[in-house]
Amino acid sequence: MVHQGRDGELSPAGARTAGIRRRLLAWYRKHKRDLPWRRTEDPYRIWVSEIMLQQTRVAAALPYYARFLARFPDVQALAEAAEQDLLAAWAGLGYYSRARNLQKAAKNIVERGGFPRDHSSLRELPGVGDYTAAAVSSIAFGLPHAVLDGNVARVLSRVAPELGDIKSEAVRKRLRALAEVLLDRRRPGEFNQALMELGATVCVPKRPLCERCPVRLYCEARKQGLENQLPVRGPRPSADQRAKRLLVVEKAGKVLFWQRPAESPRLAKFWELPEPEQLPTAQVTDYAGIFRHTIVNTTYLVEVCRATVGSRPDGFHWVAKASLRVLPVSTTAKKALALYDRSLRNNTT
Ligand code: SF4
């Protein structure tokens, strides 16, 4: 279960977060690729590597990186370079605006009198977005900024799990929040690189190598057999497969339910768990997991979340867990509650 707010180390979510950090960092120290930008603390060299890797694979970037730094060993040299020398050093890498922005930024740094040392000043440099500012500030200066690039978004969408369209702004926001929660603030640069390395070498887009994964025990997609279906790209998983979210709001042994009316075309008078649209003020606090449920020809991927509400909303009832056995509860709600109870047990053992 992943806690979406600040994690307390004594809570099950906090223990899970600590477990992910510990195993991921241990794995990274043992298995990380030996790359030149990992052997330096020079922010200039780290920044150049981040820009170069934006649209270029590691193997392709390596010779360019060495040549570029031999030719322009520091910010001053880059700021003073003739444009034709700069473009010649970049030739073959494509996306030449990256090289031009590097030089614009280098001139800016020289004018400022030094390399910017915090996220917001880095963000002001031409060609530096949120990702690059977070990567450089965490790796070069040890500042607690979580990165969210394509690799990290894929890993987190599986660990969470996240069923929404990975390209949507709402999902990016949720994944960013999760990245911030998981970030090891004592070693942010190393943690960020470990997560990116996991995405690049183990949690790859097709057929992730889960058997070798250090966080497999905590990965919800793995537990549910969904690792090859996530992340979701596009508004829905597929034409006959839909995403749905159910909320478990629990208070003093009672769970919030609503009852279908007698005239309901399906499951009349059955008891159901709420969906987020029915409880717009509910706060989702944890993910419990995900399961598949087929109704006629449609398969639902049902995500179960723990949530809280201020007071009992109109049309809802607190139902004692003990009385659920004797009430007509829909199969979807039963499955969701069973998964929820299982996740509570798993996270307290
Ligand atoms: Fe990715 Fe598999 Fe690891 Fe989950 S267990 S994070 S799907 S490699």
Q: In the chain, pLDDT over 70 holds for what percent of residues? A: 93
- Identify the band that residue 236 occupies on the pLDDT scale cut at 50, 70 and 90: low
> By the 8 A CB rule, do 60 and 31 touch?
no
Distance between CA atoms of residues 273 and 204, nearest Å: 35
> What pairs with residue 298 in β-bridges?
295
- Identify the band that residue 248 occupies on the pLDDT scale cut at 50, 70 and 90: very high
Residue 13 has pLDDT above 70, yes or no: no
Which tens digit of pLDDT belongs to each residue from 202-220?
999 999 999 999 999 999 8
Which tens digit of pLDDT belongs to each residue from 118-135?
999 999 999 999 999 999
Model pLDDT, residue 170: 87
20, 222, 229, 287: which to mutate for ligand 1, most atoms within 8 A of CB? 222
Place of tokens 């109704």: 295
> By the 8 A CB rule, do 273 and 248 touch?
yes
User: Ligand 1 pocket by C-beta < 6 Å: which residues?
Assistant: 155, 158-159, 202-203, 208-210, 213, 215-216, 219, 221-222, 227
Pairing of strands 241-251, 298-308: parallel
For the ranges 90-99, 103-112, 173-182, 190-199, which has the lowest average pLDDT? Answer: 90-99
Distance between CA atoms of residues 247 and 336, nearest Å: 9
Average pLDDT for 323-332: 88
Residue 331 has pLDDT above 90, yes or no: no
Model pLDDT, residue 332: 92
Model pLDDT, residue 9: 36
Query: Mean pLDDT of all residues in the chain?
Result: 89
Average pLDDT for 31-53: 96
